[in-house]
Amino acid sequence: MKIERMITAEDMRKAAKRRLPRVVFDFIEGGVEGEHGIARNERIFSQCRLLPRYFVDVSQRSQKTTVFGRTYDSPFGFCPTGTPDLWRPGAEGLLAETAGEANLPFLLSTAGNNTVEEATRLARGNLWFQLYTTRDRAIADSLIGRAKDCGVETLVITADVPVAPNRERNMRNGFSRPLRKTASLVFDGLTHPRWTWDYVCSGGMPLMGSFKAYAPPNATPDEVADFFGTQLPTPDQTWRDFEHMRKIWPGNLVIKGVLHPDDARQAAELGANGLYVSNHGGRQLDSAPAPLEVLPAIRAAAPEQTIIMDSGFRRGTDMLMAMAMGVDICLLGRAALYSVAAFGRLGAQRLVSILRREIDLNLAQIGCPDIANLDESFVVPPPVIQFGNGRARFEG
């Protein structure tokens, strides 16, 4: 497939599926249990409507977005994702470089392949760092210190991984570290020679860069990953951990995985600067609500907080709907991975161009030339969850 034929994020997904062995593609594509959460995340946008206003001068348009005092050229960025170099060697660095060139935020995962020091340079100052609380809290403190020393301004604490998820698709495929040479995987590799060649020539399973410093000396990438597995998940993580991080982190502090207004209020009271509304892309709790379903309640519970959201974005219009409902910036996970897996740097750049064009055209279509003026008057929201009297229910 030629990159010139890629005109949507879905085209990128199809191209990635053609290039990657099934076991590898399914690790991106899959969720947990019945995968209803993934479908819910995407379906919710079809239940929204954008309301156009006409006889508005839209000859000059802007999608510049300001978050935490920094202005980005578009209202989206790239999510933290674990071991993205599995899909293409150097994929994470290519996404970081693309974000830097395009002036978009790039979130490096604790489970990423680049070190925080490397990613800071590649993202040209647009790096945010996502942190998992480790069982040995000294490791998390060290990672925070490294991010601070690199000049990272925004730290994102993940809250929604108390235990390992039940990813049935991975279990059926026999996904493991290292990839086991089963008959089906060998056949799949032979029928996807470009990925197989890249994987073998790059040395196999990619290294978790930031975590290598804490593993035993001279640990291989698989041994680093095994050590990572001894540190996560952390079922004993509590608000005390968040309070501790607030004390030692001087910059913007965001909590990721907020789906309840009570958690939003608590985070704000404890000094959070931002709330990251997310169900982990449907990869943790299959029956969790879609972020858009709880967004109004969270926005109302913590009106002064910066709101970040991921899970399900595939179109520029998806992002416009979310922003009209109160989101400040949108983050892309699977769409970004599909693009770089299929075409490398050119794929990531093409995805940015596709989404920017969709946002630009639809800002004109709805009569909102400056995205900073996008508000609830432009959207008919989907059915959302109302909270009160100790219970939650759908309304709308």
**The CATH number of the domain where 177 resides is what?**
3.20.20.70
Q: 178: pLDDT confidence band, cut at 50, 70 and 90?
A: low
Closest-CA residue to 95 (of 75, 74, 119): 119
Q: Binding site residues, as ranges?
A: 80-82, 109, 130, 132, 158, 167, 256, 278, 280, 283, 310-314, 333-334
Alpha carbons 290 and 28: distance in angstroms, whole number: 18
Of 324, 265, 272, residue with least CA distance to 297: 265
Looking up tokens 């249990």, which residue turns up? Answer: 33
Share of the chain above pLDDT 90, in %: 93
Q: Are 293 and 42 in contact (CB under 8 A)?
A: no
Does 280 qualify as catalytic in the annotation? yes
Average pLDDT over residues 294-305: 98
Enter the pTM of the model: 0.97
| pLDDT (average), residues 25-30 | 96
Report CA-CA distances (Å) from 382 to 35, 224, 276, 321, 359. 21, 44, 20, 10, 20
Binding-site annotation: residue ranges for glyoxylate: 132, 167, 280, 283
Annotated binding site for FMN: 80-82, 109, 130, 158, 256, 278, 310-314, 333-334
Of 36, 244, 260, 280, the catalytic one is 280
- Side-chain-facing half-sphere of 246: CA atoms under 13 Å: 15
Element (H, E) at 394: strand 391-395
Domain that holds residue 67: 3-383
Cα torsion 216, 221, 226, 232 to 10°: value is 90
Would residue 395 count as lying in a domain? no
In terms of DSSP bridges, do strands 70-72 and 65-67 run parallel, antiparallel, or are they unpaired? antiparallel
3 state SS of 212: helix
208 by Cβ neighbours in 10 Å (0-12 / 13-18 / 19+) ranks as buried
**Beta bridge mates, 128:** 107, 154
CA 322/CA 291 separation, integer angstroms: 9
- In the DSSP assignment, the letter for residue 196 is H
Would you state the structure tokens that stand for residue 233, as one six-digit string? 């998940």
The torsion angles phi and psi of 387, rounded to 5 degrees, stand at -115, 140
Does residue 396 lie in a domain region?
A: no
Query: Rounded CA gap, 162 and 149, in Å?
Result: 28
Q: What is the pLDDT of residue 214?
A: 98
In Å, how far from its chain's centre is CA 156? 11
Q: What is the mean pLDDT of residues 166-177?
A: 88
Q: Nearest Cα to 111, choosing from 82, 86, 135?
A: 82
- Tell me whether residue 254 is in a domain: yes
Task: Give yes or no for residue 135 having a pLDDT over 80.
Answer: yes
**Confidence class of residue 180 from pLDDT cuts 50, 70 and 90?**
confident
Are the beta carbons of 96 and 123 closer than 8 angstroms? yes
pLDDT confidence of residue 195: 94
Tell me what pLDDT residue 114 has. 98
Burial of 78 (0-12, 13-18, 19+ CB in 10 A): buried
Sequence-distant (≥ 6) Cβ neighbours of residue 362 within 8 angstroms: 50, 316, 317, 320
- In-domain check, residue 390: no
Asked if the structure places residue 244 within a domain, the reply is yes
Q: Are strands 306-309 and 329-332 parallel, antiparallel or unpaired?
A: parallel
Q: What is the mean pLDDT of the chain?
A: 97
Res 18: pLDDT: 97
The residue that leads in pLDDT, 14 or 174, is 14
Average pLDDT, stretch 91-105? Answer: 99
- What is the reported pLDDT for 185? 79
The structural domain count of the chain equals 1
Residue 107 maps to a domain: yes
Residue 391 lies in a domain: no
How many Å apart are CA 305 and CA 257, to the nearest integer? 15
Q: What is the DSSP string of 309-333?
A: E-SS--SHHHHHHHHHTT-SEEEES
Query: Is 256 domain-assigned?
Result: yes
